Amino acid sequence: MLLRGRLTVAVGVALLGGVCAALLPASGDDRQARAADVAEGPPEPAPAKPALPPARALSPRGRLDAELLAAPAAREEFRDLRIVDGRLERAPGGSDEMRLRYTLDPELSEAVWKALERGRFELAHVVVMDPETGAVLAYASTDPVRFPPNKTYPAASLVKVITAAATLDRAPQAAHETCHFVGSPWRLTRDRLRTPKRGNSADMRKALATSNNQCFARWAVHRVGPNALLGAIDRFGMLTAPALGHPSGHAKSPDDELALGELGSGLDGLEITPLHAAQLASTLVDGRLVKPRWVAGAWNEEGQRVAVPGSEGGRQVLTPKLAAQLRGWLVDTTVRGTARRAFRARGGRPLLPGIPVAGKTGSLNGTDPKGHYEWFIGVAPADEPRIAIATLAVQGPRWWWSASQLAAEVLRAAFCPQGRCSPEAAERLRPALDPEPPAPAPAPQLAQPATAG
């Protein structure tokens, strides 16, 4: 069953004393797809956002401000970072600034940028996260000006994960029901909200793997309903800010059955940030909504530690049993579903032997910026997840790699560092979330722009 609770997505960044509380905001592969579902009752109103202090407002004791706490995402920002104790760190730019050590992994960051280059992505985002602690291991954006990472975009078929959870919560027998559909599974019309007398068929597991819009629209209309769907989207954290500097998601309230079907299938109605997508992927591990964080430690100019919100257990949004069920079904996406080609090497061999990946794709045409939006979210290994990933790309008339291929290459870098894949290989990427203070006069290695960003 789905578990209810008031959403409080806290920012995983450091703030000094009482300033911490002031800055932490509380708290949808088809060619056509748009937004999502899961739960009962009307959604809770989003909490008011507290005002942030002026940019660069640093006290002599090193109070942290919003600009300093922003996650580095563009290549150019990595030029100012150092590698200290295997982590990326921002050195003070002045006598009264802070030293920040990030959870971002230099090796994985390098692999992400190389994958973005090899795939020739002009507009893309990559977020890699530890699903247990919420530590962000990689955060990259090819063009933060034209395609900001802290902006909302059509969620497309990612929302089917939420719709599936909401349906199974309200009608567990739906897991064994057969959905009949006619024509293209991705084409939805008002007439197709009614069950046809004949046509093709799929159960929920197959419908997830193939991203069947007709089936999910029907489940949203006949099994879930508008209030429960909006409530589920809210409980999964999509309608609140996932972190400092990131906006809350936006969902349209459906005014008729077709709009509800579009929302539940991902064809319209929900916009989220890439960080929301990474959070959604992480819920597949054990049903918890974890709080993203990218600052592991902070120290003032005197070497004194500045308080960083610690890792929290996260809020349960669905039961571990239901999370495991969905995770098992979503392996089909990368084996025989919409992302199967991305996770196969030449000759049809698995790209990541021994590392099953549970994932969900989404695709939809968009206008800001204009292009074909492609998503992939997933966790790996599916049987005991260590990594959660979200990729988003805007494709033009000509493109090379899909968002699923991008995710597959990043996961290969995480689990197969020497060409041999192992679930344990990802353990090297997990950061210390309570690092030792830096030496008074460190001589760290500079992060190279051509590799680490």
All structural domains of the chain: 18-432 (3.40.710.10)
Which two structure tokens, joined as six digits, stand for 165?
Answer: 């959870």
Beta-carbon count within 10 A of 321 CB: 11
Rounded CA-CA distance 161/164 in Å is: 5
What pLDDT score does 450 carry? 37
Decide if 211 contacts 338 (C-beta within 8 A): yes
Decide if 43 contacts 230 (C-beta within 8 A): yes
What pLDDT score does 70 carry? 80
- Residue 81's H or E segment, with its range, is strand 81-84
Tens digits of per-residue pLDDT, 76-117?
Answer: 888 778 898 888 988 766 555 778 889 999 999 999 999 999
Rounded CA-CA distance 142/144 in Å is: 6
Place of tokens 């291991």: 137
Rounded CA-CA distance 250/232 in Å is: 13
What pLDDT score does 419 carry? 85
Taking alpha carbons only, the member of 42, 261, 280, 251 closest to residue 161 is 280
Which two structure tokens, joined as six digits, stand for 129?
Answer: 């996260």
- Residue 261's H or E segment, with its range, is helix 257-265
Low-confidence ranges of the chain (pLDDT < 70): 1-68, 92-96, 308-313, 433-453
What pLDDT score does 312 carry? 63
Instruction: Count CA atoms closer than 13 A to 210's CA, side-chain side.
Output: 18
